[in-house]
Structure 1
Amino acid sequence: MWQALAFGGVLVGMAGILALAPRDGAQVAVFMPPWAEQGDAMRAAAAARLDVVAVGSNGRVAILAAVDRSGVSRLYASGAVLVADAAIARACLTTEPPKTEQAA
């Protein structure tokens, strides 16, 4: 009986991982570690040469424009702990458009 429960747990876990997986050409959410400084998600996006669509209120999460597999790899190389489908993140986060500096 416990084997069936364990197998069911594995299946549910795999479904969750697949639901979070970023798709080529879709927006993604990048999550930085909890000890990261505010704004690190935007710095990781800049280092990966990707466009920011929205930023989480804590600055450690950002939603990025369409990304391919090499973009996901560059985000991980820039310090991201998780890169997930943006639809999942939008349901859980309060985001705002990125702030841009205005010339005086």
Structure 2
Amino acid sequence: MHIKLYQYHIRPENEQELLLIQQKAGQIYRKYIDVHTKMLKNMIDETKWTEISFFKSVEDYQNKLPLINSNPDIQELYRRFESLLISDIVEEDYEDWL
């Protein structure tokens, strides 16, 4: 299993927009690839969010990502997402061992 972890900060007043963007993006991703995503909001820093996405394999992720990124709707959603950010995005890759 391949796991992508993203951490970023947004203003609290943009939470509903973030969740709407993530919901729409998830629908697009699932047209191309089997993915399950968890959205976590930090309990101490209300601006900090962690997104964890689970994919079948790194190969599956790498093969399908170009198709997903070529979708004009996903490009527009990413632009909207970027407009919400008040920090850089921290991106990490993991593999499941258990």
Class of the TM-score when normalised by the shorter of the 2 chains: 0.3 to 0.5
Which is strand-richer, 1 or 2? 2
Which is helix-richer, 1 or 2? 2
User: What's the TM-score, normalizing by structure 2?
Assistant: 0.37
User: What's the TM-score, normalizing by structure 1?
Assistant: 0.36
Which protein has greater RCO, CA pairs closer than 8 Å, 6+ apart? 2
